[in-house]
Amino acid sequence: MKTTDQTLMEQLKITDREILRRKKYLNFTDQDARQLESMREIIAGEIDDIVDLFYKKILPFDEMDRVIGDAETLSRLKNYQRQYILTLFDGQYDEEYVHSRLRVGVVHKRIGLDPKYYISAVHNLSAILRELISKQSDRDCESCMMSQLAVEKILMFDLSLTVDTYISSLIAETRRSRDELENYAESLEETVAQRTQSLKELARHDGLTGLLNQHTFYEELKKELSRANRVNRSTVLIYFDLDGFKKLNDSKGHKAGDAVLVAVGNAMKKVTRENEVAARYGGDEFCIILSARSLNDGKVVSERLCDEIKASIPETSVSCSIGIAISTPEKSMDANTLVKTADKAMYAAKKEPGFSIKIAGQA
């Protein structure tokens, strides 16, 4: 599995061979590595003073207030800086070391710290370490100079990695900007596609009630019956129309009739689940498809539907007759047969006054 660092190394083309080449550019040798490792114990003993002095030097930068923010963040940064400084003197400057330095670059770029502040911080850290080394009384001048030079080399090695990370990020941002321009050009096509999709959605729905229309109802019913056959489950169809609706339309006009149809559509939405289909079959006829439900479920939903319609339609002259049919694994029906069966049950319900429910096949 690739890590972010490995991806960066690939982007920057940093291989083991490239690491050796970068060290060669700085004349960083195995002797330098041993020189740094020999100072680790001394640095570890002075690490708290080094970190405190480092932050004393960089905190006056205006940019630091935005980056650090509060005492808790400063404390956390100090801990990171302790670890960073100690790893300068580990004596191992391999691929894992480069990984850690690339992470430093990524973090500083992410928080928005300009390279000029980072370079200044490296300069201040270098000055602190050089002064510390020069004060070691047990070191002769030549050893002192070798140690100071080794510190300079490893800090420059780190700095080159960080700067490359910044440059890589800038290149990535340029590519993103180019991609954004290309995406903007493509957005016109996407807008057209979205509007086309919106028109398709409008074509699927009844303009008055917002329910699915008859054509879409049959599409969904066929899909549901196909799924039901595959997974061995039942499909219940509720089919109903409004009794007294034509008389209402003739006496009070289409505006009053439309209000009733909208109220019925809203009632259907209230009693159906999100994954269930509610449709206007045509005129004052409506259908509900219940997936993986029983006839008893269909009856319960129908009773709730009657209650909702009664509550939302003040016209006592309008009621509904409901027919319920089911397609089961044992007795599977196609879409047309299931609709006809539910329609037949609906007409049987019309023989009873007011709101009535009839289940196909039951007396």
DSSP 142-204: HHHHHHHHHHHHHHHHHHHHHHHHHHHHHHHHHHHHHHHHHHHHHHHHHHHHHHHHHHHHHHH
Which residues constitute the domain of residue 307? 214-359
Nearest to 148 by CA among 125, 171, 131: 131
Contacts of 42 (CB under 8 A, 6+ apart): 132, 136
Tokens of 60: 């006056």
Same domain, 151 and 244: no
pLDDT computed for residue 29 by the predictor: 94
206 in any annotated domain:
no
- Calculate the CA 254 to chain-centre distance: 47
Mean pLDDT value across residues 244-265: 90
Nearest to 359 by CA among 312, 307, 330, 323: 323
Does 138 score more than 50 pLDDT? Answer: yes
- Range with the lowest mean pLDDT among 7-11, 56-60, 275-279? 7-11
Question: Residue 272's pLDDT band (boundaries 50, 70, 90)?
Answer: very high
Nearest to 8 by CA among 93, 107, 103: 103
- Residue 27 to residue 30: CA distance in whole angstroms: 10
Can you tell me whether residue 238 is helix, strand or coil? strand
Inter-helix orientation angle 214-231/335-349, to 10°: 110
Question: Residue 65's pLDDT band (boundaries 50, 70, 90)?
Answer: low
pTM over 0.85: no
- Residue 100 to residue 161: CA distance in whole angstroms: 10
- Mark out the alpha helices in the chain (DSSP H runs): 4-11, 16-25, 30-38, 40-58, 62-68, 71-87, 95-110, 115-134, 141-204, 214-231, 245-252, 254-271, 295-312, 335-349
Of the CA atoms within 13 Å of residue 281, those in its CB half-sphere come to 19
Nearest to 342 by CA among 292, 299, 313, 309: 299
Q: What percent of the chain has pLDDT over 90?
A: 45
Of the CA atoms within 13 Å of residue 75, those in its CB half-sphere come to 3
Mean pLDDT value across residues 9-32: 88
Mean pLDDT value across residues 308-333: 88
Does 150 score more than 90 pLDDT? Answer: yes
Is residue 81 within 8 Å of 104, Cβ to Cβ?
Answer: no
Question: Residue 212's pLDDT band (boundaries 50, 70, 90)?
Answer: very high
Name the DSSP class of 333. Answer: -
Can you tell me whether residue 205 is helix, strand or coil? strand
Same domain, 256 and 159: no
Write down which residue in 179, 202, 236 finishes a domain.
Answer: 179
Q: Residue 143 burial by CB count (10 A; 0-12/13-18/19+): exposed, middle or buried?
A: middle
Sheet with strand 319-327: strands edge to edge: 277-282, 285-291, 235-243, 319-327, 356-359
Does 10 score more than 90 pLDDT? Answer: no
Mean pLDDT, the chain, integer: 85
Tokens of 226: 């196909």
CATH number (domain holding residue 229) = 3.30.70.270
Write down which residue in 159, 179, 199 finishes a domain.
Answer: 179
Q: Which of 206, 241, 284, 343 is catalytic?
A: 284
Q: How many domains does the structure of the chain reveal?
A: 2
Question: Residue 316's pLDDT band (boundaries 50, 70, 90)?
Answer: low
Same domain, 166 and 243: no
The yes-or-no answer on residue 70 being catalytic is no
pLDDT computed for residue 1 by the predictor: 41
Kindly report the backbone phi and psi dihedral angles of residue 122, in degrees, each rounded to the nearest multiple of 5, phi listed first: -60, -40
Does 221 score more than 50 pLDDT? Answer: yes
Does 281 score more than 90 pLDDT? Answer: yes
191 in any annotated domain:
no
Same domain, 168 and 100: yes
Question: Residue 104's pLDDT band (boundaries 50, 70, 90)?
Answer: confident
pLDDT tens per residue, range 153-202: 999 998 888 888 877 777 777 777 777 777 777 776 777 667 766 667 66
Same domain, 114 and 230: no
188 in any annotated domain:
no
Same domain, 226 and 150: no
